[in-house]
Amino acid sequence: MRDAVIVEAVRTPIGRGRPNGSLHEVHPVDLLAHSLRAVVDRTGIDPALVDDVIGGVVTQVGEQAANVTRRAALAAGFPESVPAVTVDRQCGSSQQAIHFAAQGVIAGAYDVVIAAGVESMSRVPMGANLVGTADPYGPALAERYPDGLVQQGISAELIAARWRLGRTRMDEFALASHDRAARATESGLFKREIAPLPRLHRDEGIRVGSDLDTLAGLRPAYYDEEIARRFPQIGWNVTAANASQINDGSAAVMITTSELAARLGLTPLARLHSFAVAGDDPLYMLTAVVPATRKVLRRAGLDLADIDLFEVNEAFAAVVLAWADETGADLDRVNVHGGAIALGHPLGASGARLTATLVHALAERGGRYGLQTMCEAGGLANATIVERLG
């Protein structure tokens, strides 16, 4: 039976998604092309062997519209014969790209495929693809949810209220994310996964020297009087400090079979062991990481205790803490090199970024199994289990 293995996983440093961010001047096509070139250069394979490039992008408008992955593959210098496609599963877009790529390899539709993702949030702001849209939901969906759905920040507040997550606990989690990311950076633990850019060599959003007193002074990020009346249980504890950043970045993962990797002289980093995608309440929106985690463990025939490292996207501290409370996962094994609160969350790139961090962290620590999950708009989540090889 064919398998799917990761032979290389790279990412750019993550820049602040602002006009003054270090990657603002880099066109998203070039930003993705950089990771695509790097993943091919590091393996040394002929890019003509690539059967497909599957890229994840969330805000597919403007410079990121019209199958940006194809333009990036051409910009990376790949032969014109190499096809490419762009997918959107919101924040899990490039994790879904990895699933599609691995499933294609296992099925025999591909021999070598690159799964990737990009988001330049400084150049293409989140939500720009909905500008001018009077009603993105439609009457049938509105009839099903007559009270109306809410934006992600409010969902995070609802999660914090339901799981009784106070401001201090979320702020402590955020400080720990920055501390872990800073220590990983200073220790050189990101060097294996980062492909530096001329404008940026290390992640730009990591902050050190803050404390709980400073964070306690921040105002709620999503306070709304009408929402407060509708949901009186909300404590308004989500701030800019305990939520993910707005960022620019890209990442790429090369996937093939273990047999072909051996023929090409490549040493696999990990086997893509099991996959799952799950849906949950779209009002709470970000909770599907819990059923997705349970689903992928069942499919893998593994228990939570079998997992050495977890990567759970830090869209909000509330999401990861609620997930940990529900699953019983040990937070000491979660996001050991920091997460999106510190490193950043370039939407379409984050799934592949988490994979790059996970497989290299497993190698560095000698772990066997890693589990990655990503909350996604609409009440969705992907979950992936990888098994370190070698």
- Helices (H), ranges, 1-92: 28-43, 68-75
C-alpha–C-alpha distance, residues 390 and 379, integer Å: 36
Contacts of 176 (CB under 8 A, 6+ apart): none
Q: Could you tell me the end-to-end alpha-carbon distance of the chain, in angstroms, rounded to an integer?
A: 20
Please indicate whether residue 91 is annotated as part of the active site. Answer: yes
Beta strand ranges found along the chain (DSSP E): 5-11, 15-16, 52-56, 84-87, 112-120, 247-256, 270-279, 309-312, 369-376, 380-388
Please indicate whether residue 375 is annotated as part of the active site. Answer: yes
How does DSSP classify residue 197? B
CA atoms within 13 A on the CB side of 338: 30
For the chain, counts of helices (H) and of strands (E): 13, 10
Please indicate whether residue 178 is annotated as part of the active site. Answer: no
The catalytically annotated residue of 34, 273, 345, 360 is: 345
Closest by alpha carbon to 335, among 319, 363, 304, 314? Answer: 314
The burial class, CB within 10 Å (0-12 / 13-18 / 19+), for 363 is middle
The catalytically annotated residue of 91, 99, 178, 337 is: 91
Q: Are 181 and 338 in contact (CB under 8 A)?
A: yes
The catalytically annotated residue of 178, 273, 337, 375 is: 375
Question: Which active-site residues does the annotation give?
Answer: 91, 345, 375
